[in-house]
Amino acid sequence: MASLTGHDVSLIVLVLLLIGVSNSKASHSQLDVNHKKPIQTFRPYNIAHRGSNGELPEETAAAYLRAIEEGADFIETDILASKDGHLICFHDVTLDATTNVANHTEFADRKRTYEVQGENVTGWFIVDFTLKELKSLRVKQRLSFRDQRYNGKYQIITFEEYILIALYADRIVGIYPEIKNPIFINQHVKWSGGKNFEDKFVEMLLKYGYKGEYMSENWLKQPLFIQSFAPTSLIYISNMTNSPKLFLIDDTTIPTQDTNQSYYEITSNSYLTFIRNYVIGIGPWKDTIVPPNPKDNCLGQPTDLVARAHALNLQVHPYTFRNENQYLHFDFHQDPYSEYEYWLNEIGVDGLFTDFTGSLHKYQQWTTPYQKEKNPEALLREIANMLKNDGY
């Protein structure tokens, strides 16, 4: 664990207040992972997509704390950068959809039109706001049919604050940050010393002790997956960190943002064989693995993508699983547990990005629960009974 600066301590205090830890317990010992319940590795990972954002506004401290409370193995986030170079947790490059920026008259003249992934987009862009200005905004629920009562209650958080939420959890919780829109960020945000977005991203992870290959001792103490839709970013950071990386794969109609390759190119055997030198797995949109029938919203024939990835020893973490009826194909009869069962048992994926962490956790606890630890006396009785049954 890296030494803590005064700024780090102030962030820790903020997180401790959010978690509700009293000052008497707010000590460095809370970071002692040797006395925390370890992350589970015996079943597919429960990945809290933008936190528990089915219940609370996405990528807020509250959404991440709820996801941890509900049993997430990993909390997932998207990393972007402010005008003054601070890394923040936010999904869109524009603030319009999930903040109250439109209500701030002092920012009325900040609306811009920029090219993003080959298309002109108009809105209030994160790269035109300082961190202080971003902190003055409040986050709201993205989808109108989800709970709106928490709108306006929470701030945008920084990458550091997100990391500290995981580190100060009462058990080991993994982080799953995405290098989001790196081409756009590097065009509009400049750092000193010739550093770029990817450099600053990895620096933050190393500052807080995140390092080590998948399932190594370091990784098990501070689990991490790094994700991106940009393969060049993943390849670039491979020279800086050996932490496991996931290559995200979009809809079949959307090319990669940096290399302009098609879906069919990047899911070919030759490309998967190439990219596995840099990543431990892929994160495809689930409808590309099992394409639905557009006429009746029923599932079609599964592709062989998961089988081909597994044959190359690549994990598969599809996205995004949501409980609402409009997201459930008719095959699942409005039952999210039926969808989990299909993907975990029939398709055989290694992790799921879900908006409803609690639902996935409950399903897994019912179907593949933690094994209860046996005390020494119980183990001795079990051994004695085994010997007795064998005639000893």
- CB within 8 Å of 151: residues ≥ 6 apart: 57, 100, 138, 139, 140, 141
- For residue 296, the SS3 value is coil
Q: Nearest 5 degrees, angle CA 309-CA 315-CA 320?
A: 100
Residue 191 CA to residue 186 CA, distance in Å, equals 9
Residue 282 CA to residue 318 CA, distance in Å, equals 8
pTM of the model: 0.90
- For residue 234, the SS3 value is helix
Among 10-24, 119-133, 138-152, 284-298, the least confident range: 10-24
Phi, psi of 323, rounded to the nearest 5 degrees: -80, -25
Q: Nearest 5 degrees, angle CA 268-CA 271-CA 276?
A: 120
Neighbours of 263 (CB within 10 A): 18
Domains, the chain: 45-92+159-370 (3.20.20.190)
Among 49-58, 175-184, 233-242, 369-378, the least confident range: 369-378
What are the tens digits of pLDDT across the range 298-308? 999 999 999 99
Averaged confidence pLDDT in the chain: 91
CA distances to 88, 115, 267, 332 from 254, rounded to whole Å, are: 25, 16, 13, 27
Residue 57 CA to residue 45 CA, distance in Å, equals 22
Q: Which residue from 202, 33, 197 is spatially nearest to 126, judged by alpha carbons?
A: 197
What are the tens digits of pLDDT across the range 326-378? 999 999 999 999 999 999 999 999 999 999 999 999 999 999 998 765 556 65
Specify the amino acid at residue 44: P
Q: Which tokens go with 92? A: 């869109």
* CA 28 to mean position of chain CA atoms: 26
pLDDT greater than 70 at residue 21: no
Neighbours of 135 (CB within 10 A): 16
What are the tens digits of pLDDT across the range 85-130? 999 999 999 999 999 999 999 999 999 999 999 999 999 999 999 9
Residue 23 CA to residue 209 CA, distance in Å, equals 24
Mean pLDDT value of segment 179-190: 98
Token pair 């030494």: residue: 3
Mean pLDDT value of segment 122-149: 98
What are the tens digits of pLDDT across the range 65-82? 999 999 999 999 999 999
pLDDT greater than 80 at residue 2: no
